[in-house]
Structure 1
């Protein structure tokens, strides 16, 4: 079953997507939403590509490695933005993005 070899990466992608969704929603509740606009936009992008990458890996797509490489780049951008903000949801999201980027880079290099 192809998805077994990617289980750790799939899990990281799903966890990152969930963290990004929560972060985006939480950012919308912050006092200065405009200041959080880039964070929110990257959260949405990151959640979407993480779910896409997980689905490509789950079905053993021949394009999974390429999608995971792109996912790693977007996770890195999102994590860097989230890390700039001290709110707990942003810090947790940054950690999830960092983990997912590492897993996706490892998967894409295999």
Structure 2
């Protein structure tokens, strides 16, 4: 094996790793966005990206938001995430978050 083929293989491997990282990141943002959109909710890809950057549990927040939308609640994804961030130490699942948001909507 000569140096040229080794460097070519190394660079190809690094490029493949970078591409796989970006594809997985894209789908981790695209999937929750598509779920919200298909369930009748409103969200932008940038909201989902912002949730990831803020350290929110995107799956939990979007599941709670979808359940609230399906129940006819007038709530935004930002409001659901705000409730999650305020109480993330007591929220164990999307049902807990949904109940907290509903309680605060009534108050």
Provide the TM-score with structure 1 as the length reference. Answer: 0.29
Q: Which has the larger radius of gyration?
A: 2
Taking structure 2 as the reference length, what is the TM-score of the superposition? 0.29
As a proportion of its length, which structure holds more helix? 1
